[in-house]
Homo-oligomer: A and B are copies of this chain.
Amino acid sequence: MAVPLYQAKAEFFRMLGHPVRIRVLELLGEGPKPVRELLADIGVEASSLSQQLAVLRRAGIVTSAREGSTVTYALAGPDVADLMRAARRILTEMLAGQAELLDELRETDTAAAAEA
């Protein structure tokens, strides 16, 4: 692995940094799903979804399999499901913490605003 770890991490997070990709991963967390269903749940154009699915596929975080005329996607491993669970948990904590944080920041902001 020639890539430094912190860079791998950054790439990984960047890969998660798109609303459609997040939604796909969360939906797949419930189990494998055909594209048709993702499409209905997420409500973007088919080609847009496909583009984002391609990003996830390239990252090796999901797999796809054709069954007849439909293609079904799944998380590439249990690690990924864990990750999404952890992400959800942490994010909600973060966003909850944000409220208190905002208060602290507001003090600074108004102090700064008073000068302007």
Minimum CB distance partner of A79 in chain B: B97
Query: Which residues from chain B contact A83 at a C-beta distance below 8 Å?
Result: 90, 94
Range for the number of chain A residues in contact with chain B: 35 or more
B14 near A14 with CB under 8 A, answer yes
Chain A contacts with B in 75-109, Cβ cutoff 8 A: 76-77, 79-80, 82-83, 86-88, 90-91, 93-95, 97-98, 100-102, 104-105
Nearest first, the 8 A-B pairs at minimum CB distance are A14-B17, A13-B16, A13-B17, A10-B19, A79-B97, A6-B22, A7-B19, A13-B13
Q: Point out residues on A near B: beta carbons under 8 Å.
A: 1, 4-19, 21-23, 26, 60, 63, 76-77, 79-80, 82-83, 86-88, 90-91, 93-95, 97-98, 100-102, 104-105
